[in-house]
Amino acid sequence: MRDSGVRLAWPKYIMAVTIFFLPMLIQTPCRLFGCDNTLLEMLTGSKAQDSVNEKLLVISSKMQVTAELAKAFNHAAAEKMHQESMESWLYVATQITSDPPGSATGDIEFNPLLVKISRDLGTVRQLLAGRQSDDVHDRLELCVSRMSLLAAIINGNTSMREFLSFELLLLGLRPLPLSFAASRAAIALADFNAALDNLKLPQTPEVKEKTVLLKTIFANLQDSAAADGNAFSKKTLTSYLTLYNEFSALKKILLADKYFVAQ
Alpha helices in 156-233 (DSSP H): 158-171, 180-189, 192-198, 205-227
Q: So where are the chain's domains?
A: 10-156, 173-263
The Cα–Cα gap between 116 and 123 comes to: 10
The Cα–Cα gap between 174 and 139 comes to: 11
143 closest CA partner among 89, 184, 183 = 89
The Cα–Cα gap between 63 and 35 comes to: 8
- Residues 6 or more apart whose CB falls under 8 angstroms from that of 228 comprise 180, 184, 236
Secondary structure letter of residue 47 according to DSSP: S
Helix/strand/coil for 28: coil
164 closest CA partner among 65, 36, 47, 49 = 36
pTM to 2 decimal places: 0.80
The Cα–Cα gap between 186 and 170 comes to: 10
CB burial readout 141-177, b (16+ within 10 A) else e: bbbbbbbbbbbbbbbebebbbbbbbbbeebbebbbbe
Q: Residue 43: its pLDDT value, please? A: 53
pLDDT means over runs of 10, the chain (263 residues): 38 33 31 52 56 88 92 93 96 92 92 96 94 87 93 91 96 91 96 96 95 98 96 96 96 91 60
Q: Residue 24: its pLDDT value, please? A: 30
The Cα–Cα gap between 151 and 49 comes to: 9
Helix/strand/coil for 110: helix
On whether the CB atoms of residues 256 and 223 are closer than 8 A, the answer is: no
The dihedral built from the CA positions of residue 74, 21, 213 and 161, taken in this order, carries a sign that is: positive
Q: Residue 34: its pLDDT value, please? A: 54
The Cα–Cα gap between 166 and 191 comes to: 11
Helix/strand/coil for 21: coil
Q: Residue 2: its pLDDT value, please? A: 40
What is the distance in angstroms between the CA of the first residue and the CA of the last residue of the chain? 37
